[in-house]
């Protein structure tokens, strides 16, 4: 069960980044063509929000109940232990917060500049996510 939860958590990142690319491309197309942020765009960000929150829940479950990474706080001089105990979790929670703000800020249809806001939040969220995952863990 531990391996299944770990692989589900790790595998969801590809789906999340695919959705980030889709929402970003859709927002750029909307901005360039002068289209407004619509219901389909809200559905895309809702799906992105859902899978992001699912990944956060799986990660928190692993952090506290399976791997007990919080026990590594005494070993902060070790870079791998520090990454597992603090850095990865902090950056991914910031990423999830940015995705949540993106969705909640853009779901009201009467707000102006939603395409521009989506582009900015997706770029920032992607940068935060890439900073929290080492390159050797991508493939």
Q: Would the pLDDT of 17 be above 70?
A: yes
Exposure string for 58-85, b = 16+ CB within 10 A, e = fewer: bbeebbeeeeebeebeeeeeeeebebbb
> Over the stretch 100-135, which tens digit does the pLDDT of each residue have?
999 998 987 777 889 999 999 999 999 999 998 877
Calculate what percentage of the chain has a pLDDT beyond 90: 62
Predicted model pTM:
0.89
Nearest to 102 by CA among 63, 44, 15: 44
Q: Does an H or E element contain 117, and which?
A: helix 114-132
Measured in degrees and rounded to the nearest 5, phi and psi for residue 18 equal -65, -45
Measured in degrees and rounded to the nearest 5, phi and psi for residue 30 equal -60, -45
């Amino acid at each position: 069960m531990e391996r299944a939860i770990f692989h589900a958590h790790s595998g969801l990142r590809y789906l999340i980044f695919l959705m980030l690319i889709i929402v970003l491309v859709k927002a750029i197309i909307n901005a360039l063509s002068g289209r407004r942020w619509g219901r389909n765009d809200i559905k895309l960000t809702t799906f992105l929000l859902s899978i992001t929150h699912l990944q956060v829940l799986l990660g928190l479950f692993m952090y506290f109940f399976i791997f007990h990474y919080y026990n590594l706080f005494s070993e902060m001089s070790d870079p791998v232990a520090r990454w597992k105990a603090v850095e990865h979790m902090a950056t991914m929670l910031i990423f999830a917060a940015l995705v949540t703000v993106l969705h909640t800020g853009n779901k009201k249809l009467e707000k102006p500049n939603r395409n521009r806001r989506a582009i900015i939040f997706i770029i920032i969220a992607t940068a935060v996510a890439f900073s929290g995952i080492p390159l050797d863990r991508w493939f």
